[in-house]
Structure 1
Amino acid sequence: MQQQKISIALVDDHKLFRKGLLGLIEMVDDNIEVLFEADNGLEMQKKLQPEKLPDIILMDINMPGMDGFESVAWLNKNFPQIKVLVVSMVENEDSIIKMLKLKVKGYLSKDVEPAELGAALQAIMSKGFYYTDFITGKLVHTLQNEEEREMLVALNDKERKFIQLACSELTYNDIAGEMFVSPKTIDGYRNNLFEKLAVKSRVGLALYAVKHGLVKL
């Protein structure tokens, strides 16, 4: 099957890396046309020609003047049809997630193999995205953390107070006195939290509290 013709641009402040990347691209596919190179987002803006836009821009993150985050945000606003493939040595989770939230179509390390670079470009054109197992793992981990944070946010002040007191040596009757409510109300707090947090005992509440930083050991 004949591969699709792809037009691209390179935005990276390291000229030596751009030269190496061009070499990789030539090895990968002769159906790829490089429209321009730019040192940063500001130069990219000057070189973009509305009558002939690249299909994909290969974008670094750390660049002077206008970095990758700012550049992608600008593209989303002005040329949302251009797809962005991040190619960067920056692999910390915050940067990856920030780029994914900016709707980039893929994220590769600068030590990418030629075959994977070619596969990424073709996948972005045919499927709209290319995410490696490494990036997918980072995304899943972050989503799990966000779910946990949402669970914490869902606890009201009285529930948090009850959990903190439940981690002490106080009896439930003592906790009722501390919170100025009836023992029956405390039973309601306990039963609701058991269900909400999917725990079955006071020990389970304590483990949840320690795990999520509601109490300190």
Structure 2
Amino acid sequence: MNLERTNTKVTSIVLVDDHILFRKGLIELINDFPDYRVIWEADNGQDFIRQFSMNEIPEIILLDINMPIMDGYETANWIHKNQPNIKILTLSMHNDEETVLKMLKSGIDGYILKNSDPDELRRALETINQGGTFYTNCVTEALLKSLYKNKKVDVALTSREVEFLKLACTELPYKSFSPLLNIHPRMVEATREILFRKLEVTTRVGLVIYAIKHGLFKLN
């Protein structure tokens, strides 16, 4: 038993991937992190939903995209609708624009490639576990391509909403916005929902795309 775990809050993880050998190797890797533990695993989305009611609810789900019976898109949408507090980190071999954007629209919190090194996986877990988002470079490239394809839509925004959008482009969790905007935490949630309606988006990624497209935030 890893002694470090006795003094550290352990974050629970579930793996959803149809490749058994990859899954077993990933379990060993994650369980070697002192503050993360895989509590169960599933072969696909349908298997995940079947097991969900019988097992401990995880804090983070590591989700593959291409799976039989029920793929990553459908699974992410189900989680986002039924268990919105669970964080989703996508692990995939695909970095094409269509796949990345479709997955982002499903409400995931992070996206890395399966050939990423263990340090990147650890950074991704730590970031989303703290309420932030983590996307590998291929995701940033896909977002940039999307920016130049879509037509700009002008929407009247208040100064607070503009500042909110700028903060949304950082890795800061929503809960950190309150002191920076000098507003009550409930107003952070209210502002987010107003922007979702105004900009016709449903995820933080949609807010980021709008902010970059309209020059409210510039990538380095």
State the TM bucket, normalised to the shorter chain.
0.5 to 0.7
Following superposition, the deviation at residue 8 of structure 1 comes to 0.6
Partner of 1:30: 34
1:6 equivalent to 2:11? Answer yes
Partner of 1:21: 26
Rounded to whole Å, the distance in 2 between the matches of 1:4 and 1:103 is: 26
| 2:95–2:138 contact (8 Å) kept in structure 1 | no
- Tell me which of 83, 87, 93 is aligned to 2:91: 87
For 2:38, give the aligned amino acid: V
- Structure 1 residue ranges (4+ consecutive) displaced by more than 4 angstroms after TM superposition: none
RMSD, aligned CA: 2.1
Rounded to whole Å, the distance in 2 between the matches of 1:19 and 1:147 is: 44
How many residue pairs were aligned?
Answer: 148
Q: Deviations over 1:109-153 (max 9, x none)?
A: 1111111111100100113311123211211221221137x79xx
Partner of 1:100: 104
1:36 partner SS? strand
Structure of higher CA gyration radius = 1
Rounded to whole Å, the distance in 2 between the matches of 1:74 and 1:23 is: 27
Following superposition, the deviation at residue 47 of structure 1 comes to 1.4
1:118 equivalent to 2:122? Answer yes
Rounded to whole Å, the distance in 1 between the matches of 2:65 and 2:119 is: 22
TM-score normalised per structure 2: 0.62
TM-score normalised per structure 1: 0.63
2:134 partner SS? coil
Q: Deviations over 1:33-60 (max 9, x none)?
A: 2121100001100111488311110000
Structure 1 residues 124, 143: closer, same or farther in 2, change over 3 A?
Answer: same
1:61 equivalent to 2:60? Answer no
Identity of aligned residues (%): 43
Unpaired runs of 5+ in structure 1?
A: 152-217
